[in-house]
A and B are shown apart, each in its own frame.
Chain A
Amino acid sequence: MKNIYFWKNFIEKVKKDFKGLDFEIVAMENSSELTRFAKSYIHQNVAETDLSITFKVINQNKVGVVKVNSFDETVISEGIKRAIGLSKIVPELDYQYCLVKPQNYKAKSKSSFYEKTANFTPLNRAQQISKLVKKVNKKEYEASGAFETGMETMMVANSEGVFAFDRKTKVNFNSIITKDNSTAHHSFISSNIDHLDIEGISDELLDTALRNVDQVEIEPGIYTVILSPEAAAEILSEAGYVGFDGKLIMEGKSFISGKQGKKLFPKSITISDDPDEKCTIPIPFDFIGYPRNKIELIKDGVIIDGVYDYLTALKYNRRCTGNTLPPENASMGALPFNLVMKGGEYSSEDMVSNTKNGIYINRFHYVNVLNPMSIELTGMTRDGTFLIENGKITRAIKNMRFNVSVVDLLKGVDMISRERKTKAGLVGPVVAPYLRTNNFTFSSKTSF
């Protein structure tokens, strides 16, 4: 993987190829390895090294973008030539483009690069998987999942002097254990391999799976539910995708459009995009080199605003919030990079013991948006859905389909846990607590 000095030299070297035109360069280098296991054996085991360098040329308010994946000098110079060529033939933008000026980047709140993670080997991963397999096999369960380790670098520069560089390591471990219809799921995300606790994960999986047996069928209807952080994170991610994108807000296609400043939710609901949150993996700048700071999305139940990419900000005269996506995704607008939901005052045990009749949801499957304006979502429960009766988790239930508006779901939240967990999101991770809501609609059921 190339370091900061390589990229500084690279920019100096290719500058002349742009023939005095304004330019932006976004580069990402990736070295990832992933071991996949199913039915307690490793069935897929892969490694890749890849690179993307995107050259964007701005020529009299016309933009040409070319992406290559090689350091080969001919490929680089041809790529820049093609970008210049494109910038001559495409129509002008309908707003005035200007490059980002040089920025100050504060130090990240915590490191996200760990040598031990970067050097974790296929054998190391296999050894960890072996521990899980042995432990669950003793209880006659089979283990399946994926274990990824790797590192990434990101560099953004432009002809105005912007230069931003970051590197990070990654650990993604997700697993399911199964025996007939008894299943359990766990996911883990971090930069630091030392935080992966296979023994703890194995115990948690077995604890859930051993309770997730003899599932009973319940009828569709409106229920009080407690969402695990995994389930809550998925709901928040979808909300981030269709609700908080500044471009959709400006086009009148988001539930936020025209509602900034209005109190829609209980006071306990506070959601932000926060790279400084201690539980997240910080993304310090966006794909145009804008530094990222905490952005309030919903504060004490009041809608503040969404996140804005640089192009939408220029077009609609808004402030870029440091959420610009890679050039090939520019037309999408913006997404939150480090979604964080503020914790509440309860323990997850309190939440269960204070629920007379309800359902605990461990995980969702195949969530999709039904209606973007209300963020009505549909999806299935999976890998551990339980009935709560008189303050206790009593029985496992068969999987159900839900049709729920996130707006209504958040309006119905009356308990939030102190404890929060970090889960994978669409761009960066999502930090989410347990949530109890009184307004959750199951629309149909399954046979398992």
Chain B
Amino acid sequence: MKKILKNILDYLDPKTDYADVRFVETDNENIEVENGVLSSYNVSTDRGVGIRVLVNGSWGFAASNNLEKGSLQETAAKALDIAQASALVKKENIKLAPVEKHIANYVTPIIKNPFKISSTEKIELLIKATESMLKDKVKKSEGLLSFYKTHKIFVSTEGSEIEQTVFESGGGIVAYAIGEEDFQKRSYPSSFGGDHATYGYEFIEKMKLKENAERIAGEANELLSAPLAPTGTMDIVLGGSQLALQVHESCGHPVELDRVLGKEISFAGGSFLTLDKLNNFIYGSPGVTIVADATAPGGLGTFGYDDEGVPARKSYLVNKGKFVGYLMSREDAFKLDLKSNGAARAENWNRIPLVRMTNINLLPGNLEFDELIGDIKQGLYLDFNKSWSIDDKRLNFQFSTELAREIKNGKLGKIYKNAVYQGITPEFWLSCDGIGKKKYWHIWGVPNCGKGQPGQTMHVGHGTSPARFRNIKVGASK
């Protein structure tokens, strides 16, 4: 396949300022069980080629699932046509920040290939876990396992030839306690599809889904008859799973440089972290340090090279509370006279690379969990996301969580349902005065980050440990 891709480059090289060609083949296995019964077992294979060209300073991109030689030539010609059309509405020539040429091969290190584990073993795991959740008011239980093997070949007119094979494993369980006018759900190990990572089947085994099923069902039952969360302003501690989404929405997205430059304004929106704020804005308290790290072992946003051929790396976004860096593509980095930090990622062969999160990690602090809650007189412990929303500059946010527990005189107390908290991003991170130790730190996989037109769903990670925030507005959904 690499030879075919290089032949396309040979055709494009004299006609373009720059071109790259990506072949992507993805194997996916998705298993869903409801109430101890298999509800779907879907496998898919998907492959195709995407061709991106820069001609006289304007982009063109065309992609096809048809890998025959004639079709690929037509696709390349289409990309050239599109670039010419782009030039009709142009302001300045697009230029790319330099990147070294790389000839490389990257494979996710895994212990157990998930595609070689028997279907029966995977199904049985979910059947047992979901059966054991069906107690009291838990009338519905769900289990999910999902595996990906993505093989990519990237070649560019700058001479890079990069081959990567990335494995992903993920899954989780959900219990629904259903009453007359209400239902409550509890998910494990995280909400919206569980937890996901670039590990093999060993990641699923470590989750211990069966062993946690009854506890989760018990919490769902408890939630159904729990009182609504209190309304007011109080101190909160966010669990790692919820904090992962908080980092995602209020840091990961606003540091995307394409948003800052206005390229996403018509769809996802812009960002409050405007260019004047770089190295000149206090984003959070001194304990808050956030990095983008595509090299973190097992992170769902971990890879060898991004989809522009830039090596994976770790870079600081917020350092001791100060805003110090963006997520960048080559094109956007050039505008700041910087080099890309390897954050241009494409969902598949039929999508262009956009500025995307990798693993956006809040570095751990130095507190035990008991110390986090220890000096809160009246507050809430919140975890496992239920709902999220944030404005188009990433300032005003609101999250709700599956689980809320009272914190009273430094101890966890009764359970509440339908908890909601609201805030304004920099005020919220400035109120962070305690972060849990490394031993609580985990990279949560978020497999459903949406962006772009046509839409692209990206798999990203967020390393977090629980953290404390002071004087936060909380309430309950009706």
Contacts and interface: CB of A to CB of B under 8 A. Distances in A.
Interface of A: 32-52, 63-72, 75, 79, 82, 86, 89-91, 93-94, 121-123, 125-127, 129-130, 133, 142, 144-146, 148, 174-176, 178, 185, 251-253, 327-328, 330-331, 365-374, 376, 378-380, 382, 399, 401, 403, 405, 443-448
Contact of B477 (A68, A174, A371): A371
A47 B62 contact: yes
Interface in B386-405: 386-393, 395-396, 398, 400
Nearest to A172: B453
Given A38-B266, A144-B266, A401-B422, A328 B30 contact: yes
Nearest to B52: A46
A70 B454 contact: no
Given A328-B42, A331-B39, A401-B398, A380 B58 contact: no
A49 B65 contact: yes
Contacts of A252: 139, 178, 183
Nearest to A367: B389
30 contacts: A34-B453, A38-B263, A38-B264, A38-B266, A39-B91, A39-B261, A40-B91, A42-B59, A42-B89, A45-B58, A46-B61, A46-B352, A47-B82, A48-B454, A49-B63, A51-B65, A63-B40, A64-B41, A65-B40, A66-B45, A70-B67, A75-B45, A253-B140, A365-B392, A370-B387, A376-B477, A380-B389, A446-B396, A446-B424, A447-B395
Interface in B35-60: 37-48, 58-60
Contact of A146 (B62, B65, B123, B266): B266
B176 A253 contact: yes
Interface in B260-277: 261-267, 269
B21 to A, nearest CB: 14
B34 interface: yes
Contact of B62 (A48, A71, A401): A48
Contacts of A91: 37-38, 123, 127
B4 interface: no
Given A145-B266, A176-B265, A370 B477 contact: yes
A33 B58 CA distance: 16
B37 A93 contact: yes
Interface in B223-242: none
B68 to A, nearest CB: 9
Contacts of A142: 262
B61 A126 contact: no
4 closest A-B pairs by beta carbon, nearest first, are A122-B85, A67-B44, A370-B477, A144-B266
B478 interface: yes
A331 B32 contact: yes
A34 B454 contact: yes
B267 A45 contact: no
Contacts of A372: 183
A176 B43 contact: no
Interface size class, chain B: 35 or more
A366 B392 contact: yes
Nearest to A445: B396
A226 B454 CA distance: 30
Contacts of A405: 478
B387 A251 contact: no
Contact of B61 (A47, A127, A178, A369): A47
A356 B74 CA distance: 61
A86 B41 contact: yes
Contacts of A66: 42-45
Contacts of B265: 38, 144, 176, 178
Nearest to B454: A34
Given A65-B43, A253-B140, A122 B89 contact: no
A374 B478 contact: yes
B389 A401 contact: yes
Interface in B355-403: 386-393, 395-396, 398, 400
Contacts of A123: 81, 84-85, 88
B42 A251 contact: no
Contacts of A148: 453-454
Given A70-B65, A378-B389, A42 B266 contact: no
A423 to B, nearest CB: 15
Nearest to B37: A94
Interface string B338-356: 0000000000001110000
B280 interface: no
A46 B63 contact: yes
Contacts, number: 258
B123 A79 contact: no
Nearest to B422: A444
Interface of B: 30, 32, 34, 37-48, 58-67, 75, 78-79, 81-86, 88-92, 94, 119-120, 123, 127, 139-140, 176, 178, 181-183, 261-267, 269, 350-352, 386-393, 395-396, 398, 400, 418, 420, 422, 424, 453-454, 473, 475, 477-478
A292 to B, nearest CB: 23
B478 A376 contact: yes
A191 to B, nearest CB: 18
A65 B477 contact: no
Given A50-B48, A252-B139, A379 B389 contact: yes
B142 to A, nearest CB: 8
Contacts of B79: 47
Contact of A65 (B41, B82, B89, B127): B41
Given A41-B91, A68-B44, A91-B123, A366 B266 contact: no
Contacts of A46: 61-63, 82, 351-352, 454
Contacts of A126: 85-86, 88-89
B429 to A, nearest CB: 16
Contacts of B178: 251-253
Contacts of B89: 37, 40-42, 126, 129-130, 133
Nearest to A91: B38
Contact of A90 (B41, B395, B396): B41
Nearest to A67: B44
B46 A127 contact: no
A276 B88 CA distance: 40
B82 A45 contact: yes
B262 to A, nearest CB: 5
A371 B46 CA distance: 36
Given A45-B85, A123-B88, A253 B183 contact: yes
Contacts of B58: 42, 45
Contacts of A328: 30, 40, 42, 44
B41 to A, nearest CB: 5
Contact of B88 (A42, A71, A327): A42
Contacts of B387: 368-370, 378
Contacts of A63: 40-41
Contact of A122 (B39, B82, B139, B176): B82
Contacts of B386: 370
Contacts of A32: 454
A374 B181 CA distance: 9
Given A130-B89, A446-B391, A43 B183 contact: no
A363 to B, nearest CB: 10
B81 A122 contact: yes
Contacts of B424: 446-447
Contacts of A45: 58-61, 82-83, 85-86
A257 to B, nearest CB: 9
Given A36-B266, A86-B43, 8 more contacts: A41-B89, A42-B58, A42-B89, A44-B352, A253-B176, A328-B44, A380-B389, A447-B395
Given A125-B85, A373-B181, A399 B391 contact: yes
B148 to A, nearest CB: 14
Contacts of B269: 365, 382
A91 B31 CA distance: 12
Contact of B391 (A36, A40, A373, A401): A401
Contacts of B75: 49
Nearest to A311: B39
Nearest to A251: B140
